[in-house]
Amino acid sequence: MLFIKNGIINTVTNGIIQGDILIENGKIIEIGADIVAPLDVEVIDVNGSLIFPGFIDAHTHLGLWEDGMGVEGADGNEETDPITPHLNPIDGINPMERSFEEARNGGITSACSTPGSANVMGGQCIAIKTVGRRIDKMIIKNPVASKIAFGENPKSCYGQEEKAPQTRMAIAAMLRETLKEAEQYLEDIRLHEEDDENEKPDYDMKMESLLPVLNREIPFKVHAHRADDMFTAIRIAKEFNLKLTLDHCTEGHLIVEDLVEEEYPVIVGPSLSERSKIELRNLTFDTAGVLSNAGMQVSLTTDHPVVPLHYLPVCAGIAVKHGMDSKKAIEAITINPAKTLGIDNRVGSIEVGKDADIVIWDNNPLEIQSNVMYTIIDGKVVYRKQG
């Protein structure tokens, strides 16, 4: 058991409480003032320090592009086929990569790791904890989404090889074609289940991986910077009755009324980066605040390794500087990404019954000079500030 006492607890979902947290078997079992803890419990007296849930990034490539390496550590894009929905990061992530340690030392306890955006369909996405040696034991949920990409990335990857897609039209057509095939595959399975005289389709790994999308169990995670690409994604989602998250959403502030009307969750960023390509010409830190102030569910992303994951709180702080409400900025790196990923039953806030993923700060985490004093994941101290 672990007992954290004398803290100012930002639960995120139930306000701020001055008091204690009792943890057992990796779960939060009690929160409140003057908790009577068992005599043999490990005690951390934080002396009035700030306690937050562990921060979460809903869109990263953590462990798929290893720090300080070239092709030897690049496992995020399978650039041999633009349609690879059956790939899964569990088979590419290296949890020994040092970015995991930097992340948890910076207060990041969970992340969604996703394939890159070279392919129209890049593969499945998984939610993981940032501590562990074996990825199988770090998973929160697999899959949480299926990655698709619009715009410059798939065009530049395949267009230069005189292969499809060379245009945005081809990207959309390839998505529709594959989804139609998946719909037929699903229908054939259903017909066989209703009457085994109907032939069961031959197993198709690509089609199988899309069944959770067609059944609305998980969303498409949409790589889209430009407004027109977001609208194309929405158009296709409506045609096939699919769930979406709009990731990057770089021009979201230009189409805020439309996005509010559509009500899809948005994941904004990386904003702390250069305008490295044409579709980033409208990149601004204003976007998150504009969308959040309009009532949207906004999450923030570093798109690690584009921006190192441990700078997620810095990105949230800069978003506040550019008009985002500070409470909403905290939600954008805690409960909102948890909801967007469908893992809010376990992480994203400090509540009884949830995973004990807790970070103790010496000051407001949105201030750049603030430090993590303790990071706790699944009830275990995985980082303690020295000195």
pTM for this predicted structure = 0.97
- In angstroms, rounded to a whole number, what is the distance separating the alpha carbons of residues 150 and 153? 7
Q: Are 18 and 57 in contact (CB under 8 A)?
A: no
All structural domains of the chain with their residue ranges? 1-53+349-386, 55-347
Per-residue pLDDT of the chain (387 residues; tens, 9 = 90+): 999 999 999 999 999 999 999 999 999 999 999 899 889 999 999 999 999 999 999 999 999 999 988 898 999 999 999 999 999 999 999 999 999 999 999 999 999 999 999 999 999 999 999 999 999 999 999 999 999 999 999 999 998 888 999 999 999 999 999 999 999 999 999 999 999 889 999 999 999 999 999 999 999 999 999 999 999 999 999 999 999 999 999 999 999 999 999 999 999 999 999 999 999 999 999 999 999 999 999 999 999 999 999 999 999 999 999 999 999 999 999 999 999 999 999 999 999 999 999 999 999 999 999 999 999 999 999 999 997
CATH of domain 55-347: 3.20.20.140
The enclosing H or E element of 21 equals: strand 16-24
Closest listed residue to residue 61, CA positions, set 89, 85, 82, 86: 89
Domains 1-53+349-386 and 55-347 share a fold: no
**What is residue 360's predicted lDDT score, i.e. its pLDDT?**
98
Q: Where are the beta strands (DSSP E) in 225-345?
A: 244-248, 266-268, 298-300
> For residue 69, what pLDDT is reported?
85
Distance CA 121, CA 100 (A): 26
CATH T-level assignment (fold) for domain 1-53+349-386: Urease, subunit C; domain 1 (2.30.40)
Please tell me the predicted confidence (pLDDT) of residue 45.
96
